């Protein structure tokens, strides 16, 4: 018997209206005439259909503008479909961008509370996990310094350390592990593997083929908002590499 269905996406379509370069009067704005319903549409996703079952790690790959981040927003219920349906069975924790929700003027410690609130974690829970988060982030004495003094790698460590402490049912990470030193990346990958003991599904967005190949059971390939491939990770990544000329994205530079 197959494992339980966790994510069920059918015919997903999401569009954005392109801005119109024209002057709009105050009267038009007040009576609702300033919005052009005939404005051109940009379909970020269209006709996307796939399913994820419990115990799977789904990699999402594709070039810039492929619709990867829009898909994450839809799975997180931040964006609603314009077409099709998205069903996600379970509590979702999302880390969509590096340092999202961080306040530059607050310390790393205070930003842990702030970031945890965005992720839906009660203060009493984060207090019980505070030392674990700080230790995993490897920030040491910098944890009480304002975020504005942090490098991109340090912010990445802090953001992932909070997310990794959640043990969520469904975890969605959008390119958050593409920055940071290689030692921390290795530790993060190990942590992701151990999280599958508690998580039902993990969704990872990355440009790094070998990173997805190492961690993922399945992969989804998007191109210009359309689904080009979905299935076993190795098979889809091989197809992607062949179509892109066999050139994997370079390993990211190490950051402090």
**Which tens digits make up the pLDDT trace of 41-53?**
889 999 999 999 9
- Find all residues with CB under 8 Å of 75, minimum gap 6, and list them: 7, 9, 86, 88, 92, 170, 172, 203
Q: What are phi and psi of 170, to 5 degrees?
A: -130, 120
Identify which has the larger pLDDT, 149 or 153: 149
Q: For the chain, what's the residue count?
A: 256
Tokens 């975890």 sit at which residue?
171
Residue 186: exposed, middle, or buried by beta-carbon count in 10 A (0-12, 13-18, 19+)? exposed
Q: What is the spatial distance between Cα 142 and Cα 145, in angstroms, rounded to a whole number?
A: 5
Q: Which of 32-41, 57-66, 193-202 has the lowest mean pLDDT?
A: 32-41
d(CA 69, CA 44): 9
Quick one: which of 251, 248, 219, 213 has its CA closest to 61? 219
Query: Does 253 have pLDDT greater than 50?
Result: no
Q: What's the pLDDT band for 85 if we cut at 50, 70, 90?
A: very high
Q: Is the pLDDT of residue 56 over 60?
A: yes
**Choice between 19 and 127, residue whose per-residue pLDDT is larger:** 127
Residues 85 and 174 in one domain: yes
Q: Is the pLDDT of residue 33 over 70?
A: no
Within-domain flag for 184: yes
- pLDDT at position 26 is 60
Same structural domain, 79 and 2: yes
Q: 39 or 113: which carries more pLDDT confidence?
A: 113
Mean pLDDT, the chain, rounded, equals 84
Residue 234, domain member (yes or no): yes
Same domain membership, residue 12 and residue 116: no
Per-residue pLDDT at 250 exceeds 60 = no
Percentage, residues of the chain above pLDDT 90: 46
Domain of residue 33, CATH code: 3.40.50.300
- Residue 213 backbone dihedrals phi, psi, to 5 degrees: -65, -35
DSSP state of 141: G
Confidence category of residue 25, pLDDT binned at 50, 70, 90: low
- Is residue 84 located within the same domain as residue 180? yes
Residue that terminates a domain, selected from 167, 188, 205: 167
Helix segments in 31-151, DSSP class H? 68-75, 108-118, 123-137
Are residue 125 and residue 180 in the same domain, yes or no? no
Is 96 within a domain?
no
Structural domain boundaries enclosing 16: 1-91+168-256
Residue 249 has pLDDT above 60, yes or no: no
Say how far apart CA 81 and CA 120 lie, in whole Å.
23
**Structure-token pair, residue 162:** 């909070």
| pLDDT greater than 70 at residue 183 | yes
Could you give the strand order of the β-sheet that contains 5-17, starting from the edge strand earlier in sequence?
41-53, 5-17, 83-88
Tell the residue number behind the tokens 């975020």, with chain if given.
147
Question: What is the predicted pLDDT for the residue at 107?
Answer: 96
Provide the number of structural domains found in the chain.
2
**Is 119 domain-assigned?**
yes
pTM (2 d.p.): 0.77
Residues 74-93, mean pLDDT to the nearest whole number: 92
91's tokens = 């509590």
Residue 129 has pLDDT above 60, yes or no: yes
């Amino acid at each position: 018997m197959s494992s339980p269905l966790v994510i069920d996406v059918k015919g997903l379509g999401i569009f954005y209206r392109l801005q119109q370069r024209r002057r709009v009067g105050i009267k038009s704005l007040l009576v609702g005439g300033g919005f052009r319903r005939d404005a051109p549409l940009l379909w970020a996703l269209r006709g996307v259909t796939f399913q994820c079952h419990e115990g799977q790690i789904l990699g999402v790959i594709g070039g810039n503008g492929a619709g990867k981040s829009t898909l994450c927003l839809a799975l997180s219920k931040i964006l609603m479909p314009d077409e099709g349906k998205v069903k996600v069975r379970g509590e979702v924790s999302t880390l969509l961008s590096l340092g999202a929700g961080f306040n530059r003027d607050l310390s790393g410690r205070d930003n842990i509370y702030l970031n945890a609130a965005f992720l839906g974690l009660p203060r009493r829970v984060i207090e019980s996990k505070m030392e674990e988060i700080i230790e995993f982030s490897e920030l040491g004495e910098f944890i009480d310094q304002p975020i504005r003094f942090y490098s991109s790698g340090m912010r990445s460590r802090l953001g992932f350390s909070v997310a990794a402490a959640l043990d969520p049912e469904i975890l969605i990470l959008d390119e958050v592990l593409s920055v940071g030193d290689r030692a921390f990346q290795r530790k993060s990958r190990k942590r992701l593997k151990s999280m599958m003991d508690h998580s039902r599904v993990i969704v990872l967005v990355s440009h790094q083929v070998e990173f997805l190949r190492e961690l993922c059971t399945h992969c989804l390939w998007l191109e210009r908002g359309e689904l080009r491939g979905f299935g076993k990770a190795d098979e889809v990544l091989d197809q992607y590499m062949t179509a892109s000329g066999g050139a994997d994205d370079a390993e990211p530079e190490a950051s402090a």
